[in-house]
Amino acid sequence: MTAREPDAIPRLPVDPPASDEGALVRIENLHKSFGELEVLRGVSLEVHGGEVVVLLGPSGSGKSTLLRCINFLEESQRGSITVGATTVKCGGHGRAHYESEHEVRLQCGMVFQDFNLFPHLSVLENIIAAPRHVTGSSKEEASRKAHELLEKVGLADRADYFPSQISGGQKQRAAIARALAMDPQLMLFDEPTSALDPELIGDVLGVMKDLALSGMTMIVVTHEMGFASDVADRCIFMDGGVFVEEGPPEELLFHPKEERTKQFLRHILPKPGGEESPSNGAK
Amino acid sequence: MPRNNRLVFFALILVTVVAAILGILSSPAAASASVSVPPKIISASPYTGMLSGWGGETISVTFEPATRNGRPDPLVENRCDLWVNGVLAKGVRRAVSEAPYGSTIQFSNFPSVPKGTANFHVVLKTKSGQKAEKSWSFAATGEKVPGLINPGLMREWSGYIVRGIGWTLYITVISAVLACVFGLIGALGRLMKTMTFRAAWKRHHSWAYMAGHTLRMIPYWLATFYASIFRGTPLLLQIYLIYYALPAFIDYMRVHSSIWDRVGYPGAIVSGIAALSLNYGAYLSEVFRGGIQSIPKGQTEAASALGMSRWLNLRLIVLPQAFRVVTPTMGNYFISLIKDTSLLSVIAVPEILKRAQLVGGMFYDYLSPLLVAAIIYWGLTIFFNFWQGKLERRLHRDRARA
């Protein structure tokens, strides 16, 4: 429990040094609480264009909330969020505030743990709904692009199926295609494989990997350590609403510095990084 | 003095004579001998156009009541007689019903029915012996109607009752559409409550925000008031209120402003549609609210993450799904609405039930026409159920091919 005390956790500096102009996402000192419960306690993050960031951490550590705060599915109380050219100061209200929130949302694609496909629309209709009504593309244009995206995620033959008629893995890939249809600059993945059968996870991770290789900026919350070590440029371990440790995957996953990180990884990884086997007194 | 005496004498005679004349004219004894009004028969059934042949149905004779000496002179039931083809109908049951505007005597339970033509002769006698008579003829079937149900009447008058379907469906369809509109507006109003005042204050600590919040709560309050008042009072009362109270209100307003001269009183049909659609709209607002709230939060979140505005979210994602959820319940309410149009018979809308009542009143036989009405309503609801099933299968098109 001592690890949860704010003073016991070594924090990263609030202002990251050497912030260059290439940063696509910049989050500064983000605070979020649900009533009395503080979920994010001053989180700062910078993500560069084309970078893949994996967020790790136990449940309740605030990683999903951070993701949902970035595109304003949750309203944070303090801090600011910048995506692309738009900066939003949190906790505001009024027309201008909501318009800039909308601007940020348009640049973020989000993939949810439980897919959230629209059950009353076919896969194709799911994908073209937002381009048609939000950005105002024509039906032909949107459909053409949707078919391309479906091809990309390997669902070319499922365009006219309804979500209830396809498997979980196919649903998640359709959801990725739906998010990509809005041409986002940043993709947010909120535990995209947690609701899937083990044999279906591979397809989804494959699509995500392709996406990363094609240069998409991604922030991923996942428990898939294989994906993290293969694809991520940077891993961040979160606990108690703050970043505990941050670094390249090979370092953070296999040679963590913080005790809390080691403890967590011991539960997740089958073999915790070579010689660094856990000692009994680690607690 | 003698001259004075003579004047007084003549004056006394004059006064006495005038008083006598006035007294004779105003004396009740003199009037009673001449004022007596006998009963007057206005009409008698069966008459041409009612039935193709008389089969022993109740015969009713409508008359203006008699008076004597300014007092009512009532009919004596068992001294009133009916002859059929010159034969006194014995053992016939008689019943007199009286109303402020007239009276009716009914003869029923005829032992036999002649074939060919029936020549009726009726004699009405009052307590003081005044009389009225009437003779008329009507075709007769020769077969006595056997029991409770009168197939001849049903056959000949169901067409008239069935023509009421037009009004019933017209009112149902218009009320249903309006009820959906009111229901949707009501439901959206009810959903405008995003948070309590306490939560809003805790979150923003700003008086400006609280003022905006109060304004944003107004639709919620209005919708709550609307749903409460129309669900909390009987539909029949609402029909009466709109039909009878609105003209009074318009009259009242005309006193204040001439603009109201252009506003006419709502007719029975308009009042009926208004009452039904407002009442059902109140119920549907709760149904729609439940339907909208049953859509998982993830759906709305996915839509907002795609950049959809609240309106797009509602129109493309939430309402279509909510509509699928509420169709069975809505169908239930529409069946109920079809049947509740019968309440409009109380304000004389010529729909199915009103027509059945009119026919029943004409023959003093309510059972047969009401049965016809019941069958018509049942048929209508079965028909509607069929279409509702089709609609539901269509809305759940994703379940069709699995």
Residue B25 confidence (pLDDT): 58
pLDDT exceeds cutoff 50 at B229: yes
Query: Taking CB atoms and an 8 Å cut-off, how many pairs form between chains A and B?
Result: 73
pLDDT at A2 over 60: no
Q: Which residues of A touch B (CB under 8 A)?
A: 71-73, 93, 102, 105-106, 108-110, 112, 114, 116-120, 122, 129-130, 133-135, 162-165, 175, 178-179, 182
Query: How far is B294 from chain A, CA to nearest CA, in Å?
Result: 14
ipTM of the complex, rounded to two decimals: 0.83
Q: What is the pLDDT of residue A35?
A: 80
Identify the closest residue of chain A to B399 by CA–CA distance.
Answer: A164
Q: What is the pLDDT of residue B355?
A: 96
Q: What are phi and psi of B314, to 5 degrees?
A: -65, -45
Sheet containing strand B87-88, edge to edge, reads: B87-88, B81-84, B115-125, B131-141
Q: Which residues of A touch B298 (CB under 8 A)?
A: 112, 114, 116
Å between A265 CA and nearest CA of chain B:
30
Residues of B in contact with A109 (CB under 8 A): 305
User: How crowded is residue B209: how many other Cβ atoms within 10 Å of its Cβ?
Assistant: 15
State which residue of chain B sits closest to A183, comparing Cα positions.
B306
Q: Is residue A183 over pLDDT 80?
A: yes
Distance CA A234, CA A48 (A): 11
User: Per-residue pLDDT tens for B120-161?
Assistant: 999 999 999 999 999 999 999 888 876 788 888 898 899 999
Binned at pLDDT 50, 70 and 90, residue A207 comes out as: very high
Q: Which of B259-263, B346-350, B381-385 has the lowest mean pLDDT?
A: B259-263
- pLDDT tier for residue A279 given thresholds of 50, 70 and 90: very low
| Residue with more model confidence, B1 or B278 | B278
What pLDDT is stored for residue B176 in this prediction?
97
Neighbours of B5 (CB within 10 A): 9
| Greater model confidence, B112 or B291 | B291
Q: Which residue has the tokens 């535990």?
A: A191
pLDDT in tens, B257-285: 888 888 888 999 999 999 999 999 999 99
Q: Which residues of A touch B312 (CB under 8 A)?
A: 133-134
CB contact under 8 A, A73 and B399: no
Contact (CB<8Å) A118/B317: yes
The reported pLDDT for the residue numbered B342 is 96
Residues of chain B positioned with their CB less than 8 A from the CB of A158: none
Question: What's the whole-number average pLDDT of chain A?
Answer: 86
At A104-152, the pLDDT tens digits run 999 999 999 999 999 999 999 999 999 999 999 999 999 999 999 999 9
- Residue whose entry in the numeric block shows the structure tokens 């505001």: A92
Cβ contacts of A65 on chain B, cutoff 8 Å:
none
- The yes-or-no verdict on residue B28 having pLDDT over 60 is no
Task: Identify the structural domains of chain B with CATH numbers, from first to last.
Answer: 40-145 (2.60.40.1220), 153-394 (1.10.3720.10)
Of A221-235, B244-258, B271-285, the range with the highest mean pLDDT is B271-285
Q: Do B321 and A119 touch (CB under 8 A)?
A: yes
Q: In B69-145, which ranges are E strands? A: 71-73, 81-84, 87-88, 93-99, 102-108, 115-125, 131-141
The segment with the largest mean pLDDT, out of A1-15, A38-52, B1-15, is A38-52
| Structure confidence by residue, pLDDT tens digits, A53-78 | 999 999 889 999 999 999 899 988 88
Structural tokens at position B397: 């098109």
Q: How confident is the model at residue B330 (pLDDT cuts 50, 70, 90)?
A: very high
> Which of chain B's residues have a Cβ under 8 Å away from the Cβ of A164?
398-399, 402
Predicted TM-score (pTM) above 0.80: no
- Taking the CA of residue B314 and the nearest CA in chain A, the distance in Å comes to 13
Percent of chain B predicted with pLDDT > 70: 92
Contact A73 B309 (CB under 8 A): no
Q: Are B45 and B82 in contact (CB under 8 A)?
A: no
CB spacing of A165 vs B316 below 8 angstroms: no
Q: What confidence category does residue B359 fall into, taking pLDDT thresholds of 50, 70 and 90?
A: very high
SS3 B265: coil
DSSP states along B123-179: EEEBTT--EEEEEEEEEEESS---SS--HHHHHHHHHHHHTHHHHHHHHHHHHHHHH
Which of A120, A123, A166, A167 is the mutation pick for testing B, counting most B CBs within 10 A?
A120
pLDDT on residue A271: 56
Higher pLDDT, A270 or B190: B190
A69, A73, A107, best to mutate vs chain B, most B CBs in 10 Å: A73
Identify the closest residue of chain B to A165 by CA–CA distance. Answer: B402
The secondary structure element, H or E, covering residue B69 is none
B287, pLDDT greater than 80: yes
pLDDT greater than 90 at residue B184: yes
Q: Which residues of B touch A110 (CB under 8 A)?
A: 302, 305
Q: Which of A99, A110, A116, A194 should one mutate to test binding to chain B, selecting the residue with the greatest count of B CBs within 10 A?
A: A116
Average pLDDT over residues B61-80: 90
pLDDT category of residue B320 using cuts at 50, 70 and 90: very high
Supply the mean pLDDT for chain B: 88
Is the Cβ pair B308, A133 closer than 8 Å?
yes
Strands (E), A93-185: 108-111
Sign, CA torsion A193/A197/A203/A206? positive
For the beta carbon of residue A49, count every other beta carbon within 10 angstroms. Answer: 14
Q: How far is CA A18 from CA A13, A15, A25, A244, B29, in A?
A: 12, 9, 15, 20, 127
